[in-house]
Amino acid sequence: MLRAVSHLPAGHNQGTPFDGVELEHDARRLRRKLLTLRGGGGEVMVDFPQTITLEHEGALQLDDGRLVAVIAAPEQLYAVHGRDSGHLVRLAWHIGNRHTAAQLEAERILIKADHVLKPMLEGLGARITAVREPFFAEHGAYHSHETPGHALLAR
């Protein structure tokens, strides 16, 4: 069985991965897990001393030196749109008040598809669109503050 010994951030320039793992948002945060390779070439055991968040376009380095690419898998999400930026900020507050993971962008907020939050947000005047794309939620306040692989909030 293949065994990961370290993780590399996006843009690592350590070589070309021989295969990859495609993981949804929650599955990219792990400490110990058996991952299935995309190319059908087997599995990779991840057993790190502490929980980490694998970065999209980062890599796992195996004990034999080879690399496995980490790819963010598309997920069923809701794109939340407000009437204007002030309305979007208020919608973000309501989402955060429910401790819901969110990807914050200048024109929208992405959340996992949730049959309870959708009518609540629509009741607050939000326009909700179902989308399928990779999810990059903001890290929580007590997260180790790793550098994210891409900008989440356009400034």
Q: State the pLDDT at residue 141.
A: 65
Distances (CA, A) of 38 to 10, 58, 113: 18, 15, 25
- Each residue of 82-97: b (16+ CB within 10 Å) or e? beeeeebeebbebbee
For residue 66, give every residue at least 6 positions away whose Cβ sits within 8 Å of its Cβ, in sequence order, or none. Answer: 17, 18
- Identify the helix (H) or strand (E) that includes residue 91: helix 85-97
Q: State the pLDDT at residue 152.
A: 35
* 45-72 mean pLDDT: 97
Q: Where does the pLDDT of residue 139 fall: very low under 50, low under 70, confident under 90, or very high at 90 and above? A: confident
Q: Any idea what the Cα angle at residue 98 is, between residues 97 and 104, rounded to 5°?
A: 75
* 91-104 mean pLDDT: 97
* 48-67 mean pLDDT: 96
Q: State the pLDDT at residue 75.
A: 98
Whether the predicted pLDDT of 153 surpasses 50: no
